[in-house]
């Protein structure tokens, strides 16, 4: 449990809450942990959703599959980020997307209703928890706006450059969280066409790259 507490301390959800309060708080939130192997489904589209997941180790990807079996990566989360909080907050009973372990992962589940509903003692730590959750939801909204911005670009090159701009911030050299197949799924483009475009951009002196590390020239 100490390892769980150590990860929780790094999560924005528990910012400003004393670690000494974690034990009783986790009991209040009906917290429980579960482990998953790489590529194992944590949640499938259509599954009932009522718990928020916090990643203790590893990472997860949120994916959507169409009727033809084509898979698109919507986003990816790492330790100690949360997932599914937007769905349960909005009252969505069944998940419209799937969540899959992108690597071996351990997840801490907490009862979302117990996060947003004040306890009978109206304790300051619970008030702080609610404020932290609202802040996290706002950040997720910003992330989705970034994804919409990337997907609004017409060409593969424009999508790549927009994605790189968000990933790199002010840095020229940066590492992305996706391999080529995952990046193509995230951008909703053909992998071969995307790889060809990356090579053209490299040969044209726009970028340099080695595996997942890129540099804007």
Q: Residue 38 pLDDT > 60, yes or no?
A: yes
Residue 91, number of CB atoms within 10 A of its CB: 6
Q: What pLDDT score does 217 carry?
A: 92
CATH of the domain at 30: 2.60.120.10
212 part of a folded domain: yes
Using an 8 Å Cβ cutoff, are 97 and 65 in contact?
no
Query: Could you tell me what percent of the chain has a pLDDT over 90?
Result: 57
Structural domain boundaries, residue 28 = 2-143
pLDDT at 20 exceeding the cut of 80: yes
Residue that is last in its domain, among 96, 122, 143: 143
pLDDT of residue 216: 96
Residues 87 and 163 in one domain: no
Q: How confident is the model at residue 183 (pLDDT cuts 50, 70, 90)?
A: very high
pLDDT at 121: 56
Give the CATH number for residue 190.
Answer: 1.10.10.10
- The pair of three-digit structure tokens given for residue 143, joined into one six-digit string: 């992330």
Beta-bridge partner residues of 82: 54
Q: How confident is the model at residue 155 (pLDDT cuts 50, 70, 90)?
A: very high
Q: Is 55 helix (H, G, I), strand (E, B) or coil?
A: strand
Residue 186 included in any domain: yes
| Residue the block writes with tokens 């590492």 | 175
- Both 58 and 122 in one domain: the answer is yes
**Mean pLDDT computed over 149-167:** 96
Domain boundary among 143, 172, 189: 143
pLDDT digits (tens, 9 = 90+) for 61-85: 999 988 788 888 888 899 999 999 8
pLDDT value at position 119?
62
Co-location of 12 and 38 in the same domain:
yes
Task: Please return the burial class of 4, using the count of CB atoms within 10 Å of its CB with bins 0-12, 13-18 and 19+.
Answer: middle
How confident is the model over 93-139, as pLDDT tens digits? 899 999 999 999 999 999 887 877 766 655 677 788 888 988 888 88
For 165, the 3-state DSSP assignment is helix
Of 143, 164, 199, the one marking the end of a domain is 143
Confidence of residue 56 (pLDDT cuts 50, 70, 90): very high
Per the domain annotation, does 46 fall within a domain?
yes
Q: Give φ, ψ of 50 to 5 degrees.
A: -145, -10
């Amino acid at each position: 449990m100490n390892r769980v507490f150590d990860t929780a301390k790094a999560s924005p959800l528990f910012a400003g809450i004393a670690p000494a309060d974690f034990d009783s708080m986790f009991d209040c939130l009906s917290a429980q942990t579960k482990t998953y192997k790489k590529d194992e489904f944590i949640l499938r589209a259509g599954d009932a959703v009522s718990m928020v997941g916090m990643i203790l180790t590893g990472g997860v990807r949120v994916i959507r599959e169409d009727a033809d079996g084509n898979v698109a990566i919507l986003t990816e989360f790492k330790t100690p980020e949360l997932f599914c909080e937007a769905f349960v907050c909005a009252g969505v009973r069944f998940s419209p997307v799937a969540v899959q372990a992108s690597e071996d992962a351990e997840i801490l589940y907490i009862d979302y209703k117990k996060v947003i509903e004040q306890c009978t003692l109206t304790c300051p730590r619970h008030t702080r928890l609610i404020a932290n959750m609202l802040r996290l939801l706002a950040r997720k909204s910003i992330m989705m706006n970034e994804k919409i911005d990337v997907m609004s670009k017409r060409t593969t090159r424009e999508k790549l450059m927009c994605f790189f701009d968000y990933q790199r911030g002010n840095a020229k050299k940066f590492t992305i969280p996706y391999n080529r197949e995952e990046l193509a799924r995230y951008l909703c483009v053909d992998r071969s066409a995307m790889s060809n475009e990356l090579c053209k951009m490299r040969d044209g002196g726009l970028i340099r790259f080695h595996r997942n590390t890129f540099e804007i020239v």
